[in-house]
Amino acid sequence: MSGRTDAELPVLDPCSGSRMFYFDHADPRVCFGYIWSETHELKDRSSAAGSRKLIIAPDQIMDFRALPFSEEQFHLVVFDPPHLTANGASGWLAKKYGKLGADWREDIRKGFQECFRVLKPFGTLIFKWNEHEIPVREILALTEAAPLFGNRCGKTAKTHWIVFMKGAAMDAEERG
């Protein structure tokens, strides 16, 4: 983390996992967090060796439901929580993406609350969700925040990237 403290970093990703969508997997601007640290050897027929490594090595172990940071600390928070409930605990997808527990609604609700708590006023929250099992509308019902905009992508258009801005919501009276 370039010798800086978490308090000086502008970006938090509390569910970074193996940092799949980052151009720089060691970007010094980001505090990469995850609930555990581990390495797995995954079977992969497309790899010359027949397998590949999945490395989950966060800068800091953290639980997105109870973030270890002060209020209004980050300019940008990336919230990409686990989205699977039915996958086996030892399955490849569960290892790669994590798995939600039985109380997933409360977990995601707390995650949104915590992400907004550590976000600076008018800071940006980027939320990523794949609705393979749970529709995005059910997830958005777990936060009072209104999305600013979003986009669907992927082969089946089930992955959503949704952008929120803390403190940017305006009621109808303010809009005129």
Domain assignment present for residue 1? The answer is: no
Total number of domains in the chain: 1
pLDDT in tens, 116-167: 999 999 999 999 999 988 999 999 999 999 999 999 887 778 899 999 999 8
> Residue 38 belongs to a domain with what CATH number?
3.40.50.150
- Helix H or strand E segment including 39: strand 38-43
What is the C-alpha to C-alpha distance for residues 161 and 69, in angstroms, rounded to an integer?
Answer: 24
Domain membership flag for residue 106: yes
Q: Considering the domain boundaries, does residue 14 fall inside one?
A: yes
| Residue 61: domain span | 6-175
Contacts of 173 by beta carbon, 8 Å cutoff, 6+ apart: none
**For residue 110, is it within any domain?**
yes
- 3-state helix, strand, coil split of the chain in percent (to 5) is 20, 30, 50
pLDDT in tens, 50-104: 777 878 889 999 999 999 999 999 999 999 999 888 766 666 666 666 778 889 9
CA dihedral 35, 40, 43, 44 (to 10 degrees): 70
pTM for this prediction: 0.84
Quote the DSSP letter at residue 101: -
